[in-house]
Structure 1
Amino acid sequence: NDLQFLNYLFFRCLCQKAFRSRRIGTEGQILSRVFTDYDPATRPPVRDDADHSSILVITNIFINRVNWHENRAEVDLYLRQQWEDGRLQYDVDPREQIDQVSIPSNRKIWTPDTYFASGNELERSGRHSAVVEPSGFVRSSEQRIVDVPVSYGTSFPFLNRRSFTLRLSSYVYPLEDVVYLWANSPPLVEPVEVSSDLNSGPFTLEEANAGDCIGNYSVGAFTISIFRKILVYRCGRDIQFFGDGFPLQLVPPYRIIGICFLAAFLDSW
């Protein structure tokens, strides 16, 4: 029985290796075909049945980390973009089980040249990936670090709410050529997502609001509101403990209000 099991594992490993080798070879053939006459400097054509002449770029942002400063923030994020490029369409046998092909780093494809118009991009880490589906639909992800201004809410000193705005635009293309649209298909896809580490830290994402198109920008402002959980003090009946397990019910009501106000005032600094 042990020998039969080992033979089965060996045969299975050989089959998987052969399948991966065939898949890699098929993907290489696909890339060779689609890039034969491909020009990455030319904007993709619009579909014949489209009612507009612009390329639609669907975007969402994943915030990995935020470094707070006095009046600004350094936002480490992943910019995710999706668009259709009919020149990259390809046919593949369903038996190959290939639903997308990764674009290698030595192959250049057309991109909308997106940048953050509401801040200064400090650096690009080089972490970039792109895949293309048989329909020519491209999905791209790129890490960016953006320095943006920060505004404070009007609830000080009871609530330390901070917000910053992320506005996207294209370096090269006007609104007539490229239009941005925030991805919004909850609960699977949100316009703005944050890492679990960021949400479990001293600050957490409260809300993200999309604005309207402004001026010549391809997309309007997307305001992200973030508040600090440890600065949220509710001086009401639902609060039973203050600080490290100190029972509020043992403190006179007027002192509770004073403690909450003083704690919020000190922590905001």
Structure 2
Amino acid sequence: PTIVQLGIYINSFYAISEQTMDFSLNLYLRQQWRDNRLQYDKKDNNGQDKLKLGDGMWDRLWTPDVFFRNEKKAAFHVVTTPNRLLNLHSNGTVWYVSKITATLSCPMRLHKYPLDTQDCPMMFESFGYTMEHIIYKWLPSPVQREKGLELPQFRLVDHSLNDCSQNYTTGAYPCLEVRFILKRDIGYYMIQLYVPTVLIVILSWVAFWISIDAIPARVTIGLLTVLTMTTQSTGARTQLPRVSYIKAIDVWMVVCLIFVFASLLEFAVVNVFSRKEIRQTRRSSFRKRTMPRDEEIALEQVSISCDCHRLLTSQN
């Protein structure tokens, strides 16, 4: 079998999407293999070991049929000229480089979102040649990247190399895989999510220091904070796919909403007990006002009964 060595040079990472669960990158795909039919004598090339082949030779030579197994879409760069390089060495070794922009699927686990780390694969597989004809191996230093490469919301922490060869009904096909370890940066979410929700919760607690008689002010603060927190929660969910499991951001938003709702509920409870206490106070004050009058009536009745008793005694 022909040994084909693979390697990549990453120009840029961009468009890492949680909604569509994919990522896009721009890279140089490097391939190297040896074809003994292409050996030549250095003397025929002015003693040079390397011969650069022109554009017309690309379609006349055999090249591996490598493709991205987890590809959603990909394209070669052709502006202003096809971005391909083909070098031939005297021993028949072919060095083939092409510039590609690819969008690849990345099944994401969002349980810890936005404090998550994603593991996104890039799989190179032969489309038509089985392992009886081709064997894939990595080049020395197979994964290189542009110096100062930055991602919008992630950091490229590390990568790992694996063999992903798989058996199909038509045979066993060679496959190599590089997995990118991407850690999400928390800065954006601190500014857009965590800090605003904390401030909303603190604002809802301001109602505790407002007089209980200021019902419009306390109700307004409670309702506004509840509605604002609901809007924040809805906005956070619109950036994510509709997964069935609970995410860390869901727990945070629910806890904040509970605190905000509890402050509104506290006002309702305090208002009920306050009105109950007012009614009891009024009843007790009413009783205190009516008790002297009742005592006067009782004394008058006693006095009348005593006078009647004396009158009857004198008549007898």
Instruction: Verify same fold: TM over 0.5.
Output: yes
Query: What amino acid maps onto 1:147 in structure 2?
Result: T
Equivalent residue in structure 1 for 2:154, among 203, 221, 226? 203
What is the aligned partner in structure 1 of residue 182 from structure 2?
226
Amino acid corresponding to residue 115 of structure 1 in structure 2: F
Report what 1:79 is aligned to. 29
Check whether the contact 1:152–1:160 (CA below 8 A) recurs between aligned residues: no
In structure 2, list runs of 5 or more residues that go unmatched: 192-247, 250-316
Aligned residue pairs, count: 178
TM-score (norm 1): 0.58
Q: Is residue 2:166 matched to residue 1:214?
A: yes
Query: Greater Rg, structure 1 or structure 2?
Result: 2
Q: How does 1:16-165 map to 2 (within 5 A)?
A: 54-66=1-13, 67-70=15-18, 71-93=21-43, 96=46, 98-107=48-57, 108-125=60-77, 126-152=82-108, 156-157=112-113, 159-165=115-121
Distance 1:124 1:200 in 2: 22
| Offset, 1:103 | 1.1
Is contact 2:126-2:175 (8 Å) kept?
no
Query: Mean Cα displacement is larger for which, 132-141 or 62-71?
Result: 62-71
Q: 1:171 and 2:127 equivalent?
A: yes
SS at match of 2:100: strand
Q: Residue 139 of structure 1 aligns to which amino acid in structure 2?
A: W
Deviation, 1:159, is 3.9
Q: 4+ runs of 1 displaced by more than 3 Å? A: 93-97, 151-155, 157-160, 199-204
Q: 1:201 to 1:99 in 2, by over 3 A?
A: farther
Q: RMSD of the alignment, in Å?
A: 3.0
- The structure richer in helix per residue is 2
What is the DSSP-based 3-state SS (H/G/I as helix, E as strand, rest coil) of the residue aligned with 2:149? helix
- Counterpart contact for 2:129–2:173, Cα < 8 Å: no
Residue pair 2:45, 2:51 contacting (<8 A) in 1 also = no
Percent of residue pairs identical: 23
Asked if the contact 1:206–1:225 (Cα under 8 Å) also holds between the matched residues in 2, the reply is: yes
Closer, same or farther: CA 95–82 of 1 in aligned 2, 3 Å: closer
Give the CA deviation at 1:218. 0.6
